[in-house]
Structure 1
Amino acid sequence: MEVESPNLPISQSPHLPISLFLATLLLLLAAWPVRAQFSGNIDIAFTAPTDTLTVGDPVPLTLSVTYPADYRLTIPTLPKAWGDFEVRRQTEPETVPNPDGTQTTTQTIEVTLFAVGTFQTPPWRLTLRDATGKTMERAVPQVSLTVQSVLKEGDAQLRDIKPQAELPVPPVWPWVAAGLALAALLAWLGWRIARRLRRRIRPPAPVVPQPLFDPRPPHEIALAELARIEALDLPGQGRHKEYYTLVGDCLRRYLEGAYHIPAMDMTTAEIGRALRHTPLPPEHARRFTDLFAAADLVKFARLVPPLEEARAFIPQARDVILLTRPAPLPEAAGAVPLEAAA
């Protein structure tokens, strides 16, 4: 006897629901978010040097992330008020390569707490991106900290504020002594500078106006000029160069008037050669050149002679003028003196 199996429609086939389930599962896997496609080990550590502190103590929390070298890590900036914590400082991340081809990024986050109890850091996440641009987020482990009170158990009594600490005050007298010494030094330096300036800047010797023509003989003019210079007492004022210059010029003008030698335009050696052609005895001519040589040492070699030696220079010049003054001219025959005519 043959049994014929009934012809069932396709929609009633027992294998159709399984096929539909597999097809739906494949579609879901294809549409799974990109974050599930990351490969590589990612290690995140968030640690504190201690888990016990007192109110207000700063605690540096260290974040350490190890990840593949071709990944890019983004660490968010935490707000100042971070849950129960106060973020005081968040350093710049530092990344170093590892021998196994990974790299490690570290960052220090300094926080503090102002309440007593046990607290956990708020949840927060890091973002990583691989070489293809796909991103993922990873949660940072939480850190628990316990804040202990500085008061002893059962101690609720208020106490007075402690007085200010007394710092040792250094003695004042060394500063006063140093200030007086400095003031004395500055005063001494000022006196020295002023004295030097007074020596350099002195009023010129008074100039006596001379007539355009002086009828007196040259030796009388020279003797009068020496008397004027002597009255100034320039050596007593330390004005040696000016003193020797005036006396030397007086002798040169005397030689010009008495012996017609242009001595004002000559050097000492030239004057000595010119005196050889005058009726002056050699010893008198030598006295002129000796006086001019002494004046040259003061004027050009900056020699400062002793005071008595300097004051004796004018008497020496006066003596040589009196020794070398020309004899008066004889009166013409028949001339009548002015006194007799009167």
Structure 2
Amino acid sequence: MRVIAGFLAFLLLAMAQLSAQEPRLQVSVDTSVVSVGDRIKLTVSVDHHPGARLAWPDSLALTPFEVLGAEVPPPVSQGETTRSSMVLVLAAFELGDLEIPSFEIQVTDPEGEVTTLSTSRYGIQVLTVGLDDGGDIREIRGPMGIPADILSFLLLFLAVAAAAILARIVYRRVRKSEPEHRNTEPAAPWRPPHEVALEELERLERSPLLKQGEVKKYHIEVSD
């Protein structure tokens, strides 16, 4: 009887150790309802033997989702097992009920035996507008308004530009309407009549008309 009990205990212990060494897969997503372009965090964890090696996929094609980022944190020891994880950041740009496809992870134990694990598919609902904290659909916001100070500056700038253009147009029209200036000699400065008369008399007195006997011509010029 004792032999049978010991054998059962040994068998249970062996099964427990074997179960602890078998890799186990856990997958979780942080949300199942998102808006177009929202980030989705997909966490994949594998509990395995401390001496096992994991082969994460080199590249993932999770269409219709796009992989925006991937992070593999350091493994965490949990007694007789080790937990290795990978965190993916996804986004969808299509509407409707979509599905994150499955992908495979390979685990190689210390003896070289390879175990292939497959993730489950996850359904994600993608909406056209976001959700508020209570889960209700938010109202669609209107276009973003321009701040008042920027709007005032733009109006002032447009007004100044319009005034400058108008002034230039008026200047060109006025310039075209003006007659062309001719090259003329400047007029002699104005002189009083008596100065002109005295100057002429002095010129006649210095003239040789009287000496030449031109008395008549002399008197004619004096009378003029």
TM-score in terms of structure 2 length: 0.49
Structure of higher RCO (CA pairs closer than 8 Å, 6+ residues apart): 2
Higher helix share: 1
TM-score in terms of structure 1 length: 0.33
Largest Rg, 1 or 2:
1
